[in-house]
Structure 1
Amino acid sequence: MSKEEKASKVESLSDRRFQQMADENRELKGYVAEVMQRLRQNERLFSRMFDLESQVLKSTDPEDLCFTLLRGLRSNFELDFVRFWLDRSSFIGGHKLDALSERDLVWVENDEIRQMGISRKQAWLMQLSPEHEFDWLDSQDRHLGSIALLTLGDLDNPFGVLGVGSIDRDRFAPDQSSDFLQHLAQVVGLTLEHAAAREHLARLSVTDTLTGSQNRRFLQPHSHQPLSQWFGSETEVACIYADVDRFKSLNERLGDDAGDRVLGMVSKAMRQYVRSNDPLIRMGGDEFVLLLPGCSQEKACDIAARAVNCVAESELLEDEKVTVSIGVAYSPAGKDPAVKQLVAKADQAMYVAKALGGNRVEIAESEQGDSDGS
């Protein structure tokens, strides 16, 4: 082989080697660019997740937490589906979640999560099709291509499932990494448990354990507020103040157990004629305050009379008649006294009822210029 041929061959080999290196360099640059893009995507993802976690941790109760989480997941993570399935028999079943729609929340029965097999791991990724459906989804969810199911709580005793879905079949394909979703499941589960525990403790602190009504501590933060700050402007408010007649004598003669039964019966008698969210407060001893926003004086007097009759007709204690005295005070729309002022007026009317023999209703005198509400 001549020198010229050898030189040409070396040059050709060199060119091919340079070309190979250039191709490898382009592939490496493409790989690095792809990795950097994924890193930036993950960085944005975790940044959004951190922001959502911060909002969730600020939630004051389970309802607020669930609502914040649903809204945040939908708006920040481009999801086509977000839903809670919560076990009605678990601790979460005793908490108010009325702000969540039926599309946001579905209650499942005791042990249903375990029976579905979801509790075997923290996160499940599923691709959906007519041949491969998930039983908990509705007909309106058939557009989904994939879904992730996040088990909430201890896997041995889960209290719920959070489902997130997409129309993209590859978004939650089984071969995708689930580390991020497992982290989300743990955060949501723990924060929901803590929020429920905080709400339970807060509820206990303002609840009378004997009767289930609120206690005086519940009223204290509102006491100096005008009625409008608690119940809204231009809202008429009635107040019923009840006291068991001769309760001290009854308690001394029949004992504390009989006295406790009487208090429970009186609380039930006052509660049965009003809305569940109307504040009923045991002021201490045998005194109760019932606040009725949006209630006329005439209606409040009717409720009070029903409560008086209900207590008087009860046969709770053998050979012992139990009665109550009730005072009613009313603040028409447009007037805005402090809560404690309305309660004090009802209290005074109650003492008038007692002075007149008890087992009756008396109405507080209206201030000059007040409507009588009838």
Structure 2
Amino acid sequence: MGGALLAGTAVPGQPELDVLKRQIRENERIWAGFRNIELGMIGAQSLRDLVSVAARDLPRTFPRVDAVTLACFDPEYELTRLLAPGELDGRSGGGPDDIDPTTAFVNLTQDALRTLFPASLKPRLGPCDRELQSLLFPGYGRPLGSVALAPLMLRDQLIGCLNQASLDRTHFSPGTATDLLEHLAAVTAMCVDNAVNHERLRLSGLMDPLTGVANRRFFERRLSEEIERWFRRQEPLVYMLVDIDHFKQVNDRHGHKVGDRVLQQVAELLGRDLRGADLLARYGGEEFMMLLPNTGGPDGVRIADRLCRAVAGHRFEGGEAPLAVTVSIGVACLDRSSEFAGQSPAAWLFERADAALYEAKQSGRNRVVADRTETRDPSDTEKYSAD
């Protein structure tokens, strides 16, 4: 089923060990299936893709799941508009594998949500009657037998539910363990929030159209907010400048189309493991900027070093043969020891990171240099090579 691990039942005459082995194999399959769906959701580039992944992959992974929908409280029809074919991303068809996400999304009122989860905010498993099917699976023609409804919580608010249904009346039964289903619901809620924020950035002109990450304007806005937060809490803030090495040669030798693909792939690598509070933005040309709130200098350097190695080890598409691409990274950190000497904190951070980046370029590229102004000696730097 899409949500519980099996307990295993002994069969007369069958060794207990065989039952246990079969149970372990089935549990491993369920774990792997949920993990793959979770990764697909996290990697979705839009709300359309996110809904499509759920509607396509849950039934594909768990054969007795016959219908899947995502229901959300959407009073301003913002999510509904983002799911409309051809909106924003230029596509006119359905989602992956011809799944039409508009048929797998349901706009619910808050009263309807509260009615679905009146007693607790735990998944609800049991029979599916005609009224429930009409509410949550309006596009499914055959009578459904049982459902598993998982509430979506975001910042302590009920925003919707992830719904699975089976033609089998006994498939989703009350009392079944729902730990994996609850985890998937938490991931879904986070991904819905990220997808909506991503589209809002695009609409407001705060996104770089080529790479899909934030632009310099949005970065400066967030930087100002994080500096204000730093003054209140004194939690460290890491600032990075990332530059693609010899990028002009990529354009000159392979053309701007290949150069654009390199920029897109570098942005994807830099943003792959960011936390929700972290920010990646394109500064311009071949340069990117990163903010890592509540991150100290040593941790920032380790993260930068890992990113440097990830780019160096990636096979970039370059036409006939893969390209070798590297980056240089300058790291600065705002902490309790920072002294601005009459500068604004934003200017101070940029100057320190820019100087560290320059040093990384001058000392061989494909490396990380961390500013060490907290030692009160501006010439004291640490170098980390990804060679």
Which is greater in Rg?
A: 1
